Structure 1
């Protein structure tokens, strides 16, 4: 990865310094001391930023954030969306694996599909944007992978009907697997009596004999009838903002292949998370 020029890094350092000290004004001497820049270099950079309107020089020769930068910040805040970074990654993943790539957000005890991209062989078959489904505890691990245990327990208290011991154990096993591997995967239930044509089974809050079975261990040599591979995306507070995942697989995959898919999904996840973690935290 190419590095930015020293001049760019110095400009970024100045702007970040003002961003870290909102509402404060600083003199040239303050900035030279804090940023370890030469006086001549710092003065030249400040003059350029003032000319562009990114900083404002007051009558007492101190500097404030300027109106042009404030305007750009307002526009960025109004139009910022993590899906802007996710969409090209989703498109590439869907085409690469001939699958459906979806982004799901947690809203209390539900999940909502906010965005999706489908390979040509799946057009018309993917779950539509805006679909809302109850989040069964055995599939919730990714949303809590780095959460304190107290937060996990508080969420479980809100789930209705009350989670079974098996569901609680599955949630914890999923958290451990995701912490180790960076993703989770699920397989198709081999029971031929199970109907996989509808997500209505989620509404019943069942655990045993569901069409989709989350997996908490992986053997590179074993074959899996893959259903989902999913990974968590972190925001600026290092919390899970949403989950990105692949589905629509049409053959068996060895554990080694699943690990490879998980790694590839993780690469996209990391790029989106990098975009997210450079954004200002909001609550």
Structure 2
């Protein structure tokens, strides 16, 4: 009989208790306002007594707090969660190696520049160089998006080892934008072939109307894809010559990030020149 530590991850039964605790945390963070225990239990579909046990434990550990009004208790997450996330970002954050270059590219293109990393089947925005102006896009460090619906995610997925890509393909999410296309595994593989052929990824009104993005991957000291850099703008501003300029810019920035992360120049994939 296999000892517990010898059992593969795929053979291990998930923990309902951990799953419920994470669901409660996610719901508290996502909520626009404080939640009563009853509302939280209903929103998470977790029995009231179990939900109460979870939030009291979170309160004891400093991850949740409550505001008492009469006989009602309103729960909200604390910034201790942010502290954990900040520690993690500092450990894995490749963005600090290219802040001046991100700012320069954002100013050059007059569009925000982002760095994203893959976390499961999601892309997490870990850095942003914003542009001045009244209109600001809903992109910020910490934002999470389905990997297949962003240029950032596609640029990373195109260079993943086959085994890692296969694990992600069953988790493709259909787009909701006006240009959303086929969300099948075959169609996504074809899209990744296109990314590899030119060296950068494009998303144009597939996730959201009127918004497009262009992104290129960067690589670590082992030559493995580590994340991507991208620009976001109105779809009308990321076509024709402006798309070519954006593609050239993210390719240049991605190559610089790769160099500073120690990627050997010979390990970088061939990128199509943007004329």
TM-score (normalizing by structure 1): 0.51
Q: Is the 1:106–1:242 contact (alpha carbons within 8 Å) kept by the matching residues of 2?
A: yes
Shift of the 248–258 alpha-carbon distance from structure 1 to 2, 3 Å rule, reads: closer
Structure 1 residues 160, 253: closer, same or farther in 2, change over 3 A? closer
Q: Quote the RMSD (CA, aligned, Å).
A: 3.3
Answer whether contact 1:232 1:240 (CA < 8 A) is retained: yes
Question: Alpha-carbon deviations, 1:154-203, whole Å to 9, x = none?
Answer: 2224x2779997331332122212212111112236xxxxxxxxxxxxxx
Match status 1:240 vs 2:219: no
What SS does structure 2 have at the residue aligned with 1:237?
A: coil
Question: For residue 101 of structure 1, what is the aligned residue in structure 2?
Answer: 113
- Structure label with greater radius of gyration: 1
Residue 169 of structure 1 is matched in structure 2 by 186
Which residue does the alignment assign to 2:155? 142
2:238 and 2:137 map into 1 onto residues whose CA distance is: 21
Contact 2:156 2:225 in 1 (8 A): yes
The structure 2 residue matched to 1:188, chosen from 184, 205, 212, is: 205
Structure 1 gap segments, 5+ residues each:
1-77, 190-209, 213-224
Counterpart CA distance in 1 for 2:160 and 2:221 is 15
Contact 1:185–1:228 (8 Å) recurs in 2: yes
CA spacing shift, 1:167–1:84, aligned 2, 3 Å: same
Uncovered stretches (5+) of structure 2, i.e. residues with no partner:
1-89, 176-180, 265-275
How many residue pairs get aligned? The number is: 169
Equivalent residues of 2:149, 2:203 under 8 A apart: no
Q: Is the 8 A contact 2:220 2:258 kept in 1?
A: yes
Give yes or no for contact 2:217–2:225 (8 Å, CA) kept in 1: yes
**Alignment correspondent of 1:264:** 249
The normalised TM-score by structure 2 is: 0.52
